[in-house]
Amino acid sequence: MTSGISSLTSTASNTGTSSKSSGNATEIASNFTQFLTLLTTQLKNQNPLDPMDTNQFTQQLVQFAGVEQQLKTNDRLDNILSASQSASSASATSYIGKTITADGSLAQLSNGTASWTLSPARAASKAVISILDSKNNVVATQTTSLTAGSQTYSWNGKTSAGLTSTDGTYSIKVSATDATGSSVAVDTSLTGTVDEVDLSGTTPVLMIGSQKVPLSSVQTIGLSTSGT
């Protein structure tokens, strides 16, 4: 019987780890109920002439307390996560109307579109553009030309193999040269006034016109200069 309870406790602990990340403690709660039922049944049916060893009983009570503590820990982690998400959303809305400068190498792919603002120092006759995922793996490349000044580069979410990439944060790298073969610096920083905040995803995303800016990429914040 002891091995059964130990096995159940181990299962409950492993399930608790999964529940902590998913925010769902249903399965571990079921294990907790089974654990309690098994323990009380064992106590009721023990031989009165040969009762359970005290050390064995104490060990099972410790296991029981461990499962109960795991449930409480999961509940507290869920509450902390909810509070953190609420605080992040509240912080993001305070950016509306502010002028920000952000790391323009990052962009959100959503509904098959991601865009970046590229500003080459001068016209580039050849620019090799690479799109990287969150693990810095190159998922798509394109060779094009760039005119001098600020311009928008859009990606349709298709990989080099023609597959559709999942929504999320992607980065861009540009290697450009002019007609003489000399290297051309391409700035990807983005400056503008935040018009709105998209809270539909797991993390808030700032909107500068049609440009989506991850909150984590913001470098500086200033007052809006519009209307002055």
What is the Cα–Cα distance from 147 to 29, expressed in whole angstroms?
A: 61
Q: Among 2-6, 111-115, 173-177, which range has the highest average pLDDT?
A: 173-177
Please state, in angstroms and as integers, the Cα–Cα distance from residue 57 to each residue in 2, 71, 191, following that order: 9, 22, 66
What is the per-residue pLDDT for 77?
Answer: 76
What is the per-residue pLDDT for 8?
Answer: 44
What is the Cα–Cα distance from 115 to 117, expressed in whole angstroms?
A: 7
Q: Is the pLDDT at 228 greater than 50, yes or no?
A: no
Largest CA-CA distance found in the chain, in angstroms, rounded: 98
Mean local confidence (pLDDT), 33-58: 68
Q: Is the pLDDT at 100 greater than 80, yes or no?
A: yes
* Residue environment code for 56-85, b if the CB has 16+ CB neighbours within 10 A, otherwise e: ebeebeebbeebeebbeebeebbeeeeeee
Structure tokens of 191?
């400056």
What is the Cα–Cα distance from 188 to 193, expressed in whole angstroms?
A: 17
What is the Cα–Cα distance from 98 to 193, expressed in whole angstroms?
A: 5
CB-CB contact of 205 with 198 (8 Å): yes
What is the per-residue pLDDT for 181?
Answer: 94
